[in-house]
Amino acid sequence: MSHALIEAKNVHRGYSIGKKRVEVLKGIHLRIEKGEKVFLCGPSGAGKTTLMYTLAGLEKPGKGEVIIDGKDLYQLPKKQQSILRNKRMAYIFQNYYLLPELTAMENVMIPALIGGKHDKEAALTALRRVGLAERSDHLPAELSGGEQQRVAIARALVNKPEIIFADEPTGNLDSRNGAEVMRLLLELSDEDGSTLVVVTHDRSLAVHGDRTLIVTDGVVSDREESLEV
């Protein structure tokens, strides 16, 4: 069997709170193929965001392996991990995380700048793809919540990543704007052939993916009936 783009092998992750140890991920095994759109669902506190952050190179597991395209992510030198995250991955968060003093254009340029590129044309192209080219010189405070999240999507797309991780990308939006943002994200992911991993509590959004994985009490299943929201 050829390797998947993303694999988790017996992944554990926990935290210490005072003298108490809280185990969040309890031996996760999963495979995500190139180009798949996978939604991680489950009740609050089940571990779905921790799982996404661990797959995305943002939180090292206490035990187990995260394999990206055949390479053990957390065994790579720190510099190579950073390069991999910048060039091959992108992140979209519930709270947008736009820098307030920068324009939409400047915010979108950040991943390219980290990679050593000053490419305004690529940033403008990304903003055009999300329908915000005419708002490129606006600050985040001058944009609606839906527009801010579209800027965040443009920022995620600017380096043409293979993998996009999105943590509750519609969580701060009303249902209409949330549905529009998710439609746009899925459409652009299709166009680019990128792999999409989305954390959401919203079943109505999850049905648009290729596969829904249910995270419950630190383990994963694909049984829809396990989902409680």
Complete domains list, the chain, with CATH = 6-97+162-226 (3.40.50.300)
Tell me the pLDDT tens digit for each residue of 142-168.
999 999 999 999 999 999 999 999 999
> Could you tell me where the beta strands, DSSP code E, fall in the chain?
6-17, 20-32, 37-41, 63-68, 71-72, 89-93, 163-167, 195-199, 211-216, 219-221
Higher pLDDT, 227 or 45: 45
Greater confidence, 228 or 23? 23
Q: What is d(CA 96, CA 98) in angstroms, rounded to the nearest whole number?
A: 6
**Is a pLDDT exceeding 60 seen at residue 210?**
yes
Report residue 227's pLDDT band, with 50, 70 and 90 as the boundaries. Answer: very low
Helix intervals (H) in 73-200: 78-88, 104-114, 120-129, 145-157, 175-192
